[in-house]
Amino acid sequence: MDQITHAATQPVVHTVSGSLRGLRDGAANVFRGIPYAAAPVGELRWRAPRPFPAWTSVREATEFGPAAPQAGPADVADIVSIGGAPEPTSEDCLTLNIWTPIDTTRPAPVMVWLHGGSNRMGAGSLPFYDGGAFARDGVVLVSVNYRLGQFGFFAHPALTAEAPVDEPLGNQGLLDQIAALEWVRAHIAAFGGDAANITLFGESAGGLDILALMTTSQASGLFHKVIVQSGGGWLPATPLKTAYQRGLATAAAIGLTNADAGALRAVPSASLTAVESAFGPVIDGRLLDQDPISAFANGDFTDVPMMIGVNSGEDSLLNYGGGLKRFGQLIKPNAKLAKLYPEAAGDEEQLIRLGFRDFGFAAPARWVASRPRRAKAWLYAFDYVEETRRDAMLRASHAAEIFHVFEALDHRPDDPPPATVADRAISTAIHARWVDFAKTGSPGADWPVYRPADDAWMVFNETPGGEVRRGWWKAPLDHHGRKGGLLILLLRIRDRLRTLFSAKVA
DSSP tag of 220: T
Q: From residue 155, how far is each of 159, 173, 308 by CA, in Å? A: 7, 12, 30
Residue 500: partners with Cβ closer than 8 Å, 6 or more residues away: none
Residue 481: partners with Cβ closer than 8 Å, 6 or more residues away: 363, 366, 367
How many angstroms separate the CA atoms of 470 and 482, rounded? 19
**465 and 427 Cβ atoms separated by less than 8 Å:** no
Q: Which residue intervals of 200-268 are DSSP H helices? A: 205-213, 240-253, 261-265
Which residues are catalytically annotated? Answer: 204, 314, 398
DSSP tag of 74: T
Residue 25: partners with Cβ closer than 8 Å, 6 or more residues away: 99, 132
Burial environment of residue 285 by CB neighbours within 10 A (0 to 12, 13 to 18, 19 or more): middle
Reduce the secondary structure of 292-313 to three states and give it as a string. HHHHHHHCCCCCCCEEEEEECE
Q: Which residues pair with 112 in a beta bridge?
A: 142, 200
CB neighbours (10 Å) of residue 252? 13
Q: What are phi and psi of 282, to 5 degrees?
A: -115, 135
How many angstroms separate the CA atoms of 463 and 443, rounded? 16
**148 and 269 Cβ atoms separated by less than 8 Å:** no
